Amino acid sequence: MQIIDRILRFTLLFAILMFLQGNRLLEIGGVTPNLLLIALFIAVFTLPPSRAFRVTAIVAVGIVVLSVWWFPFWIPIFIVLAIVAVVTAVIRPFLAGNVFIDFALSAGIATFVLYAVARMLFSNSMPCLVVRGEMIYTLLLGEGALLLLMRKAQSL
């Protein structure tokens, strides 16, 4: 029952994040952070490894289902995001072991993978500066959120 509660909470969180990201409410200078990537990777790196895969896979499917309703144009990107998150959950035990370094490496690589797939699927390219800006913005927000969550967990 506890895992179902967590999955529902993550799905609600992702619905809110999809709204924020879709309306570009955190955009700075034309660069918008990938909030869904941040939330998925925080789930991957804060949950115990035994549950991280299941929760991430179920929430990733939930994101794809929500994208059908909200952002049908971005379904291929959300599918790639879901695959990247699930693969990250699978390879997590083989990473460096430091949550912050693992998060930074995974989020940085995932940002470039998402833009590479977007370029192949939609035949458009983003300026390299925008891609790097999004990667840095995503890393800063993600590492900040991860730090807050880790501090909160330690204080409990």
Q: Hey, where are the domains in the chain? A: 2-155
For the entire predicted model, the pTM comes to 0.83
Pick the CATH number of 2-155 from 1.10.1760, 1.20.58, 4.10.410, 3.30.70: 1.10.1760
Element (H, E) at 149: helix 128-155
The per-residue pLDDT for range 86-99, each reduced to its tens digit, is 899 999 989 888 99
Q: Describe the chain by its helix, strand, coil percentages, rounded to 5.
A: 85, 0, 15
> Please, which pLDDT band fits residue 144 given cuts at 50, 70 and 90?
very high
The per-residue pLDDT for range 10-44, each reduced to its tens digit, is 778 877 887 888 788 888 888 888 888 898 899 88
Residue type, 68: V
